[in-house]
Structures are given as C-alpha cells and as structure tokens.
Structure 1
Amino acid sequence: MNTVFLLVVLIGTAGWITSTVSLRVKSLQAQADRTERRLALLLDHLGVEEPEPAGMNEVRALIREDRQISAIKAYRRITGAGLVEAKLAVEALAATVQKD
C-alpha cells in the first residue's frame, strides 16, 4: 500500500513539474517573440538591414542547380535555422534567384 501511494505521489509530482516547466517555456517563448518583433520594428525604423550570412552564395548555387534539399541543408548549416524556417527561406530565395 505504501509503495502504491508513493508511486502515485511521484507521478503526480512529475506531472506538476512538467506542466509548470511547460508553462514557463511558453511564457519565455512569447516574451522572446515580442522582443524579436520590437527589435525588427526598431531596425526597420532606423533603416538597418541585417547582413546576409557568409556562405549564401553556396545556397544560391545549389538552387540554380535545382538541388533544393541540398540548398536547405546548406542554409541550415550556415544559419542554424530549423527545418521549416530553412525550407521557407530557400523557397523565397529560389524565387529571387530564378529571376536573375
């Protein structure tokens, strides 16, 4: 009986800790998103453009060779972006590269 009670208490505590951490992470993510938006507005107001990461010529070359997956991998390696972000960025870049 003691073991079952202890197990229930441990599972409950683990659930509480998990939910608390999850809520805190969501709160921090929302705060980071707000900070990014404000920084973007400030940079836009000042007319400051973010410099392009070194190595983007490699990504453009891969796009010209119609090697989208390799271009996404290279973009991720160069920028540290996630998969979805890199895919969207490469697709946007492909639209401009093909116009050249």
Structure 2
Amino acid sequence: MDAWEAILLVIATIGSVAAAAGAWFQERRSSAAQLAAVQRKLDLVMGHLGIASPEEPEVVRLLENGQMIEAVRAYRKQTGASLLEAKQAVDRIAAGR
C-alpha cells in the first residue's frame, strides 16, 4: 500500500464517520419535531373536547407579570411549538385567567 492509498483510505473513513454522525443527528431532530407535532395535535383535540390542558407554571407566572413575549418564548421552549401556535396557546391561557 503506497502513501496515496493510505491517504484515500483515511479520507474515506472520515467521510463515512461524518455521514453516519450526520444521519444520526438528523434523525434525532426529526424525532423531536414529530413529538412536538403530536403534542400540538393532542392539545388541539383536548381543547376541542373542552378538556383543560395543564398550564405551564412558568408561562402563567410570566403572564401574571405582564410579560407576554417572554411567556410565548417560554411556551415555545417547553413545547417546541411554532411561534404562531405558541402565541395562540398563550392567548388562550391568558383569556382563561
């Protein structure tokens, strides 16, 4: 095996490891997004059926202090919801208080 073959073997190995790591990280992100989507759908079904969903204590505390933007930010962080969904959820929580 000459030097070029060794270099190509090292490059191929590094590329394979990088591709496997990238696929693993992509799957983790995909799973988290799927879980967040299922949670949002469950919240919508519970809201439609009139079942009270548990309120996030941090969101409620921020709303009580008049910090709407921070409440939306906290809701997004806790649930993974989009900005629009989080704003709507926080508005529902605020309306119920």
Greater relative contact order: 1 or 2 (C-alpha under 8 angstroms, separation 6 or more)? Answer: 2
TM-score by length of 2: 0.48
